[in-house]
Amino acid sequence: MSLSDLEAKIAHDLETLNYGRPNIVRPRTHPDGHVYDVLIVGGGQSGLGAAFALLSERMTNILVIDANPEGFEGPWETYARMRTLRTPKQLTGLDLGIPSLTFRAWYEAQYGLEAWEELDKISRSEWMRYLRWYRQVLELPVRNDTRTTQIEPLPGGIYRVHLEKGAPLLARKVVLATGIQGGGEWHIPEMMKALPRHLYAHTSEMIDFGAWRGKRIAILGGGASAFDNAATALDAGADEVQVFMRRREIPQVSPIPFLDQNGLLARFGSLDDRMRYIMTEQFLRLGQPPTNDMFDRAAAHPGFGLRLGCPWNGVREIDGKVEISTPEGLEYFDFAVLSTGLVTDPRLRPELSLVSDKIRLWGDLDLDVGEYKSALVDSHPYLSPAFSYTAKDPNDSAMAAAVGGIFPFNFSALVNFSLVASGLAALSYGLKRLVAGLSDQFLREDVNELFADYLAYDEKTCEFDVSRFVRSPQAVDG
């Protein structure tokens, strides 16, 4: 089957499933312009999947916006530096159960079954090509080069979404599919303020490693991205790369297989609050192990060095070099790279500045978690079962209205629902919950109108000629 045959099959599959039936949500009007039912901020895999899931459930008055240019959404062709995805090739999710929309179907249509069987892991660029195709074949409504700067709640359950450029957009619900750092920000340790910006970068930034050919680079952090970046720098000609880790061991245990094998990726949201808190604390403490492939690729270079149990205590610039102070003494490098992960906290998001103080956090709960108490977990938002923010004061209905129409479909959902909005392993569960949550909210908000309209409903769906059965009143009386 060629790609065009596959596309014809998809069209047929969608038709078979009655895809494309009219919108079920009541339209809203506003003097300032069109009101979208759902505005999805972020056109990466989560945003695209959310759009398809909403369209499939007949919520069609939607728009996806993304700050990046078309085809460069998410990390894949921007700052990710691993050669392949870290996850197994078989993972599905974006297809919503339609086999012809899977990565495998797309891959086989181009390269054949044998190539699929020989494929070990999906290459980063193939994954991005698949996402571009997915968006195009489903004709998803995406507007690129459009950054949200502010989400302003208006009376009447509508948000005004301000943009970096152009007129604001209006929407009843806003889904923040803004990526793994989209619920907070990449973490840059305070000590880095002592160093001029051109002497360091976070792994989430574009880095021209070619510029550091023949130089010494220090990387801080021991997660997967540290090794991706070490390998990339050495491949690009760096003379030496030292990876510094506070831990004495590289993370080797990922809880994801356990969560998956025990059905917890799907059902994490049903656990009680205390368990969810403790399990997330452990998840964050274990960290994300590097892939064997990227570790081996880095370690194969003679210039690679690993410094276990060696945190940075301070940094400063000395004669254009980076001086790093560690428990082992002072060391000098040409450039520093931070693989220091991210912090989730709605108060860090500029687009939430008008509402972030109204958002309930896990730290606002009165939970007895003993030694598991963690500032990292505490700053995550405490979401509703429907995926939306909840009010810091549960008795304040105005506060609830201001935040309850915003759905952070990103790493913020970790404590509530595990990884359902932060990767492929559980995306399908997340999409189902998100769409059900949105649909329930629309119903709840429109229910009085629907109820009254239902009782007054008198549209005929059929017409019968019963005239010959109708007896005259006289005949009846007689």
Ligand X SMILES: Cc1cc2nc3c(=O)[nH]c(=O)nc-3n(C[C@H](O)[C@H](O)[C@H](O)COP(=O)(O)OP(=O)(O)OC[C@H]3O[C@@H](n4cnc5c(N)ncnc54)[C@H](O)[C@@H]3O)c2cc1C
Instruction: Report the alpha-carbon distance of residue 420 to residue 411 in Å, rounded.
Output: 9
- Tell me which stretch binds ligand X (CB under 6 A): 61-69, 111-119, 213-221, 456-464: 61-69
At 279, the amino acid letter reads M
How far, in whole angstroms, is CA 50 from its chain's centroid? 10
Q: In angstroms, how far is CA 289 from the centroid of its own chain?
A: 20
Site for ligand X contains 374 (CB under 6 A): no
- Mode of pairing for the β-strands spanning 329-333 and 335-338: unpaired
Between the alpha carbon of residue 114 and those of residues 5, 104, 107, 119, 313, the distances in Å are 18, 12, 11, 9, 52
147 sits near ligand X (criterion: CB under 6 A): yes
Stretches 6-14, 38-46, 275-283, 306-314: which one binds ligand X (CB under 6 A)? 38-46
Interaction of residue 66 with ligand X, rule CB under 6 A: yes
Member of 6, 54, 55, 65 binding ligand X (CB under 6 A): 65
Decide: is 126 part of the binding site for ligand X (CB under 6 A): no
Cβ(58)–Cβ(442) below 8 Å? no
- Interface stretch with ligand X, choices 179-187, 262-270, 302-310, 372-380 (CB under 6 A): 179-187
What gap in Å lies between CA 24 and CA 44, rounded to an integer? 26
Burial class (CB in 10 A: 0-12, 13-18, 19+), 317: middle
Choices 2-10, 35-43, 112-120, 395-403 (CB under 6 A): range interacting with ligand X: 35-43
Tokens of 257: 């297989």
Does 184 contact ligand X by CB under 6 A?
A: no
50 contributes a contact to ligand X by CB under 6 A = no
Contact predicate 74/131, CB 8 Å: yes
Site for ligand X in 423-442 (CB under 6 A): 423-425
Does 67 sit near ligand X (CB under 6 A)?
A: yes
Return all residues near 222 (Cβ < 8 A) that are at least 6 apart.
243, 245, 246, 247, 250, 251, 287, 339
Taking the least distance from each CB to ligand X, the nearer of 67 and 137 is 67
Q: What is the closest distance, in whole angstroms, from the C-beta atom of residue 238 to ligand X in the complex?
A: 19
Binding span for ligand X by CB under 6 A among 43-51, 106-114, 304-312, 324-332: 43-51
Given candidates 37, 126, 240, 351, which one binds ligand X under the rule CB under 6 A?
A: 351
- State the number of CA atoms in the 13 A half-sphere of 356 facing the CB: 15
For ligand X, the binding residue among 46, 102, 384, 441 (CB under 6 A) is 46
Binding mask 204-243 for ligand X (x = CB under 6 A): ---------------------x------------------
Q: Which is nearer to ligand X, 234 or 424 (CB)?
A: 424
User: 376 or 400, CB closer to ligand X?
Assistant: 376
- Least distance from ligand X to the Cβ atom of residue 439, Å: 21
Q: Which listed range, 7-15, 41-49, 252-260, 377-385, lies at the site for ligand X (CB under 6 A)? A: 41-49
Complete DSSP assignment for 406-441 = EE--SGGGHHHHGGGGSSGGGHHHHHHHHHHHHHHH
Taking CB under 6 A as the criterion, the residue among 55, 59, 73, 333 binding ligand X is 73
Q: How many CA atoms lie within 13 A of 116 on its CB side?
A: 14
CB of 76 to ligand X, least distance (A): 7
Tell me if 265 contacts ligand X by CB under 6 A. Answer: no
The alpha carbon dihedral of 251, 253, 257, 258 has a sign of negative
Residue with Cβ nearer ligand X (86 or 380)? 86
Place of tokens 């609050």: 273
Determine, following the binding rule CB under 6 A, whether residue 177 of this chain makes contact with ligand X.
yes
Contact with ligand X (CB under 6 A) among 1, 19, 71, 87: 87
Q: Tokens 């301000």 — which residue?
A: 162
Lateral strand order in the sheet of 321-326? 314-318, 321-326, 329-333
Rg of the chain over all Cα atoms, to the nearest angstrom: 26
Alpha helices in 356-426 (DSSP H): 375-378, 397-403, 414-417
- 180 contacts 411 by C-beta, under 8 angstroms: yes
Pattern 13-32, ligand X, x by CB under 6 A: --------------------
Name the residue nearer to ligand X (CB basis): 402 or 425. Answer: 425
Kindly state the tokens that stand for 99: 């086999």
Q: Which stretch binds ligand X (CB under 6 A): 54-62, 135-143, 171-179, 355-363?
A: 171-179
Stretch that binds ligand X, among 72-80, 271-279, 330-338, 469-477 (CB under 6 A): 72-80
Q: Where on the chain is the footprint of ligand X (CB under 6 A)?
A: 41-47, 65-68, 73-75, 80, 85-87, 147-148, 177-180, 182, 225, 351, 410, 422-425
